[in-house]
Amino acid sequence: MNLARRLRPLVFLLVVTSGHAFAGLDHQLPLDQNGIWSRNYQNALQNGVIAAEVVGSFWLGNDNELGHTFWQTIDASVIAGISAQIMKRAFSRARPYQGNDPNLWFQGNGYESFPSGEVTLQASFVTPFIANYAREHPWVWCLELLPAYDAVARLKSQAHWQTDVIAGWALGTAVGYWSTTRTIPISVAILPHGLTVGFSKRF
């Protein structure tokens, strides 16, 4: 089964979860921000992924196979992140701590539960690596632990509903896969060539 077929159920979930909450699926978890679920760890993962994308891209350059994948992750993260923010504003869903009701949609400013932006980021980051390397290196699928961890952490923080993190995962995966279909990443095309050749080549 190729990755495109794997994406179909994720895209389907993104569509169907945008209209209403499924009975028995969306529920508030007990607040838990201890140990690995600490907000500090969540922020460290988010910042670490962003730093890895930037450093990997500029250090290796687009002419390097791995560097090319890093540039694809930048495309995926930026596009998926912007899409997630637009959806957050459009759906303006209340977070669990904002009323403990998964059916509070279109509440206006300050309500940005759907979809999870952080899970979107993690999924958009790992998908290009999986799409490009999983066939030769199946262990790369272990990268899915990043969005999985973040999804659970966001639920335990009472910041998102289950359908929020599923939608974020689907969105990030879909855009991440799309980014691998482009020969030249958008971010490479709009930057001066000197910034995309890789600093590793200059030393």
Query: What are the tens digits of pLDDT across the range 143-200?
Result: 999 999 999 999 999 999 999 999 999 999 999 999 999 999 999 999 988 788 888 7
**Cβ contacts of residue 147 below 8 Å, gap of 6+?**
119, 122, 123, 126, 168, 169, 172
Residue 18's pLDDT is 47
Q: Which residue has the higher pLDDT, 4 or 162?
A: 162
Provide mean pLDDT across the span 19-35: 80
For residue range 104-152, list pLDDT tens digits in order. Answer: 999 999 999 999 999 999 999 999 999 999 999 999 999 999 999 999 9
d(CA 45, CA 52): 10
**DSSP H or E segment with residue 6:** helix 3-16
pLDDT score of 1 more than 50: no
pLDDT of residue 5: 55
Task: Give pLDDT tens digits for 46-101.
Answer: 999 999 999 999 999 999 999 999 999 999 999 999 999 999 999 999 999 999 99
Higher-pLDDT residue of 151 and 23 is 151
Cα separation, 153 vs 138, in Å, equals 26
Residue 199's pLDDT is: 83
